Amino acid sequence: MKRLKRKKVNVVGVNGDASVTKEPNFGRKQKLTEIHQALISDPVDIETLKRAAATRGGLLTDEVRRKVWPKLLNINVYNLPHRPGRDVRDNHRDHNQVVLDVRRSMKRFPKGMPASERAVLQEQLVDVILEVLKRNPQLHYYQGYHDVAVSLLLVVGERMAIAMLDTLSNYHLRFCTRFLQDFMDPTMDSTKHILNYLMPILEQVDAELYDFMMRAEVGTIFALSWLITWFGHVLSEFKHTLRLYDFFLSSHPLMPIYLAATIVLHREKEVKQTECDMAMVHHLLSRIPQDLPYELLISQARDLFARYPPSLLARRAALQSHKSLSISTFQAFQLSTLHQRPDSVLQRLTKAHGAATSGHGLGAALSRDRGQLWGKGNRMVKMAVWGLSATLGAAMLAVAQTAMEWGPDVLLQLF
């Protein structure tokens, strides 16, 4: 097998404000201009936003993230959930565990933050998590979920964090999303299935490394915390976490496993020099270095995904039959993001139809707007707009579930 070529690139630097990435002024200004133009296009140019989030430097600033992240998840910023009431904590089955995990999450907050400010954010974090779980009782909290939630909260604030976390966790049960819900099943079978993709990737790229890890019987559990927290729990620098969130939010739901593979491949020499023993290799790999060349690894992960897409690896990864709705419905999710209106239009529609005070005003406005799009006769537009209808969600869920029950080979037809 040919080894993945490693190109030398300069790792992006970050200044004292972890939310701002240093780049040559020309490249930075050009990217910001492209992002702005994509956001004001009608419909929003989602492909340009995805490309900006995935390529060198990511989305550059938290201000830009607050504008782009919702678009990547098809969230209307003028129709956000209300702040949770105090009753969100009443008699919730996960309340005690969530509070314990949040109390232990002090290192996830910026260094130097006043204790009083951190305490307020921790209370908000508890409410955000419990609100999403209360809205979706079929979800099961896991330790590490709070690492994802806090990353969102620190960037977009409480109400948007609820909307994003809800979408990431569970929205595909109604229609079409992806990402975290597989980790929130009652058992770890879904997560184990996703981890099954790691070794086939290594086998394709570096057969010698793959053989070494198989002889050591190390398995893939060392990467579990990487995946279920989107690396938020294992990285000490928040700037690196944000860079990876830019990348993951703009990518296929299996991209975190490709990044995990590039990290293992990057440490190839260390692994091979370690005693071929399960405990020794697991100890090495489970402690992720903090000085990784993230831009290089992101670039390599994208290359790996292009060369060895999930469809190529699915037979190997599906040795244990499993239904992964977050993966199987990804194409539908992509379609639903392609025809979002820019915020200026959404704001005008909201004001014009009194959505701020009426629960159905914005829906009616958007329905009329959909009618204009529908009249264009573009079949793809029709599919995307129809995909946004909640009435189709149940049907899509039933079809996806039934198809996946036929066998893992069906998964190959979905990519």
pLDDT in tens, 63-102: 999 999 999 999 999 999 999 988 888 888 889 999 999 9
- Does residue 353 belong to any structural domain of this protein? no
Domain limits at 250? 180-331
CB-based contact 297:372 (threshold 8 Å): no
Please tell me the distance from the alpha carbon of residue 203 to that of residue 221, in angstroms, as a whole number: 17
Please tell me the distance from the alpha carbon of residue 403 to that of residue 243, in angstroms, as a whole number: 35
320 and 188 inside one domain? yes
pLDDT of residue 192: 61
pLDDT of residue 367: 45
Name which of 194, 157, 136 is nearest 62 in CA terms.
157
The set of residues, in sequence order, having a beta carbon less than 8 Å from that of 382 and lying 6+ positions away, is: 374
Q: Tell me if the bond preceding 43 is cis, omega within 30° of 0.
A: yes
- State whether residue 262 is helix, strand or coil: helix
What is the CATH number for 253? 1.10.472.80
Name which of 300, 309, 247, 307 is nearest 6 in CA terms.
300
Tell me the average pLDDT across 361-386. 42
98 and 208 inside one domain? no
User: Regarding predicted confidence, which is higher, 370 or 84?
Assistant: 84
pLDDT of residue 311: 84
Name which of 78, 72, 75, 26 is nearest 46 in CA terms.
72
- Alpha carbon distances (Å) from 137 to 93, 131, 225, 398: 10, 10, 24, 19
pLDDT of residue 392: 34
pTM of the model: 0.73
pLDDT of residue 142: 87
Residue 161 has pLDDT above 60, yes or no: yes
- Does residue 342 belong to any structural domain of this protein? no
CB-based contact 210:200 (threshold 8 Å): no
pLDDT of residue 350: 76
Name which of 65, 85, 73 is nearest 155 in CA terms.
65
Average predicted confidence (pLDDT) for the chain: 77
Residue 173 has pLDDT above 80, yes or no: no
Please tell me the distance from the alpha carbon of residue 264 to that of residue 257, in angstroms, as a whole number: 11
134 and 197 inside one domain? no
185 and 324 inside one domain? yes
122 and 225 inside one domain? no
User: Regarding predicted confidence, which is higher, 21 or 344?
Assistant: 344
Place of tokens 């980790």: 183
- Does residue 348 belong to any structural domain of this protein? no
Residue 19 has pLDDT above 50, yes or no: no
Domain boundary among 304, 331, 358: 331
User: Regarding predicted confidence, which is higher, 155 or 355?
Assistant: 155
Please tell me the distance from the alpha carbon of residue 352 to that of residue 350, in angstroms, as a whole number: 6
160 and 189 inside one domain? no
- Does residue 163 belong to any structural domain of this protein? yes
CB-based contact 165:132 (threshold 8 Å): yes
Residue 353 has pLDDT above 60, yes or no: yes
- ∠ CA(406), CA(219), CA(276), 5° rounding? 150
- Does residue 73 belong to any structural domain of this protein? no
Percent of the chain at pLDDT > 90 equals: 51
Least confident of 167-176, 248-257, 302-311: 167-176
CB-based contact 325:173 (threshold 8 Å): yes
313 and 186 inside one domain? yes
The residues that bridge with 245 in the sheet, in sequence order, are none
110 and 208 inside one domain? no
Domain boundary among 285, 315, 331: 331
Count of structural domains, the chain:
2
- Does residue 404 belong to any structural domain of this protein? no
- Write out the DSSP string of 182-250: GGGSSSSHHHHHHHTTHHHHHHHH-HHHHHHHHHHT--SGGGHHHHHTTTTTT-S-HHHHHHHHHHHHT
Please tell me the distance from the alpha carbon of residue 36 to that of residue 49, in angstroms, as a whole number: 9
Tell me the average pLDDT across 257-279. 96
Tell me the average pLDDT across 171-191. 44
What is the CATH number for 143? 1.10.8.1310
Q: Diameter of the chain by CA atoms? A: 68
211 and 314 inside one domain? yes
CB-based contact 22:15 (threshold 8 Å): yes
The set of residues, in sequence order, having a beta carbon less than 8 Å from that of 91 and lying 6+ positions away, is: none
Least confident of 302-306, 329-333, 394-398: 394-398
95 and 164 inside one domain? yes
- Does residue 283 belong to any structural domain of this protein? yes
Please tell me the distance from the alpha carbon of residue 126 to that of residue 149, in angstroms, as a whole number: 9
- Does residue 273 belong to any structural domain of this protein? yes
Please tell me the distance from the alpha carbon of residue 161 to that of residue 150, in angstroms, as a whole number: 9
Tell me the average pLDDT across 316-329. 49
Residue 406 has pLDDT above 50, yes or no: no
Place of tokens 């690139």: 9
Alpha carbon 207 to its chain's center: 29
Tell me the average pLDDT across 148-169. 95
217 and 247 inside one domain? yes
167 and 187 inside one domain? no
The residues that bridge with 21 in the sheet, in sequence order, are 14
Domain boundary among 120, 137, 171: 171
